Amino acid sequence: MAIPPVDSPLGQLMAHLPRPGRVEWIGLRPLRDVAMRVVDRADGIAGKGLRGDRYGGGSGKRGVTLIQAEHLPAIAALSGHAHVDPALLRRNIVVSGLPVIALKGRRFRLGGMLLEGTDSCDPCSRMEAALGPGGYNAMRGHGGLCARILDGGAVALGDALLPLDPLG
């Protein structure tokens, strides 16, 4: 879906978020097929990703992946679990307090980093192994957001996620 012009009625509705978000969990995956390493803080590298994460040296469109804390209970319920450990979902940062998909196509501050939401973070086939049969479908619509790091910096547990003006 294309982002509507900021001055359109839909663009105006999409520009307003209820409040800032908050970092609840951070994880890094140093290599493919390796368990996430839970950390209290991480350093973002502009145009790349998080230091110590396998995407840290990449092209940047998927430099950081975020998932909404409020979606974790829904994913758990839909996959038949009492709760879901964020490390199983292979996203870098769990954020509470705002709908992360609303950051697609806009810039935001996350701790000391400036990011731009690039696309939804759809689940991969590995969710079947992580969550059991139907895990892929349990995550559909709840996978979060991919973002590129425009200005590097540190992010830590408890840091704010502050939406900036929409692009447009």
pLDDT for residue 8: 82
The predicted pLDDT at position 60 comes to 62
What pLDDT is stored for residue 57 in this prediction?
A: 59
Residue 33's pLDDT is: 83
For the chain, the domains span: 19-163
**Residue 155, number of CB atoms within 10 A of its CB:** 25
* Average pLDDT for runs of 10 along the chain of length 168: 74 76 96 91 95 75 92 96 96 96 94 95 90 94 95 98 78
Give 11's contacts (C-beta < 8 A, 6+ positions apart).
3, 4, 5, 166, 168
Top CATH class, 19-163: mainly beta
Q: Which is nearest to 133 in space by CA: 85, 79, 87?
A: 79
Q: What angle do CA 156, 63, 37 make, to 5 degrees?
A: 50
So what's the pLDDT on residue 99? 94
For the chain, helix, strand, coil in percent to 5 are: 25, 35, 40
- Alpha-helix residue ranges (DSSP H) falling in 25-159: 72-79, 126-131, 135-139
- Residue 142: what pLDDT? 95
